């Protein structure tokens, strides 16, 4: 993603939907000397973690801003690059947000973003969505884990970037792998490491919950290795585009 955004030392970088700042920290290190990163997220509590992590890492070139990305009002050409890791899918108004990012970039500066690919290519998270949809239907409104796959269909991300004013747009699939010590560990983390499963199973009876767990275990068992580890394939899409007219 950093290479796609062409991030080098001395740049001013905007990290959209930065969360707790894992990617922001890496970007802040990459733009040294002379560069800076603004970590933007709607959650002030997550940004507090990012600021603390930056301080602990001895970085003084990372700032935070708690704001909805769809309401950006930076002066034109405020940044030399923009990045977003697994965040664009959750913008309340994707086109408005992308247009605001485009306007905040120097002409021909690049945005690079990672989003989830299709559920069938991401069995760790995607199988839970597909199984719940099949067995009992998805909750309304759709929980965050469902929105996480909203840019996965072919050409959707490419069209969104082009419609927002980016040119020289590229989208490529990037394989990812998750490795767990066992199937049991993979299932436990799926249910405890995020709100995805509680959100999907909101209002479900115990029988329905047990059915979902049984189906998930069957799915995860397909990825059990000879040594007992569970190795789950995955895929993200890396999209990038240049701001301004071609």
What's residue 140's pLDDT? 85
Predicted confidence (pLDDT) per residue in 178-193, tens digit: 999 999 999 999 999 8
In degrees and rounded to multiples of 5, residue 114 shows phi and psi of: -110, 135
From 101, 103, 64, select the one nearest 82 (Cα to Cα).
101
Predicted confidence (pLDDT) per residue in 112-163, tens digit: 999 999 999 999 999 999 999 999 999 888 899 999 999 998 899 999 999 9
What's residue 108's pLDDT? 96
Predicted confidence (pLDDT) per residue in 53-71, tens digit: 999 999 999 999 999 998 8
Predicted confidence (pLDDT) per residue in 186-222, tens digit: 999 999 988 899 999 999 999 999 999 999 999 999 9
Mean pLDDT of 92-101: 95
Output the average pLDDT for the chain.
95
**Which numeric CATH code is attached to 1-116?**
3.40.50.150
**245/112: higher pLDDT:** 112
Predicted confidence (pLDDT) per residue in 158-172, tens digit: 999 999 999 999 999
What's residue 246's pLDDT? 63
The alpha carbon dihedral of 94, 234, 169, 38 has a sign of: positive
On the CB side of 231, CA atoms within 13 Å amount to 8
End-to-end C-alpha distance for the chain, whole angstroms: 21
- Three-class SS state of 119: helix
What's residue 142's pLDDT? 86
pLDDT of 24 > 70? The answer is yes
């Amino acid at each position: 993603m950093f290479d796609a955004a062409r991030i080098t030392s001395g740049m001013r970088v905007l990290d959209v939907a930065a969360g707790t700042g894992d990617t922001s920290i890496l970007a802040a290190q990459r733009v040294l000397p002379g560069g800076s990163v603004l970590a933007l997220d709607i959650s002030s509590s997550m940004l507090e973690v990012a600021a603390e992590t930056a301080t602990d890492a001895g970085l003084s070139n990372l700032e935070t801003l708690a704001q909805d990305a769809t309401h950006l009002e930076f002066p034109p050409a405020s940044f030399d690059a923009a990045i977003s890791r697994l965040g664009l899918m959750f913008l309340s108004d994707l086109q408005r947000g992308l247009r605001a990012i485009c306007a905040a970039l120097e002409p021909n500066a690049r945005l690079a973003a990672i989003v989830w690919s299709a559920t069938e290519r991401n069995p760790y998270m995607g199988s839970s969505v597909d199984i719940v949809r099949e067995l009992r239907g998805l909750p309304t409104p759709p929980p965050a884990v469902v929105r996480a796959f909203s840019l996965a269909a072919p050409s959707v991300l490419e069209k969104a970037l082009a419609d927002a004013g980016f040119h020289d747009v590229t989208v490529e699939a990037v394989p990812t792998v998750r490795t767990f010590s066992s199937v049991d560990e993979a299932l436990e983390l799926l249910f405890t490491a995020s709100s995805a499963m509680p959100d999907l199973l909101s209002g479900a009876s115990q029988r329905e919950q047990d059915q979902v767990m049984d189906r998930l275990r069957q799915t995860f068992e397909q990825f059990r290795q000879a040594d007992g580890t569970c190795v789950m394939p995955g895929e993200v899409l890396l999209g990038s585009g240049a701001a301004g007219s071609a």
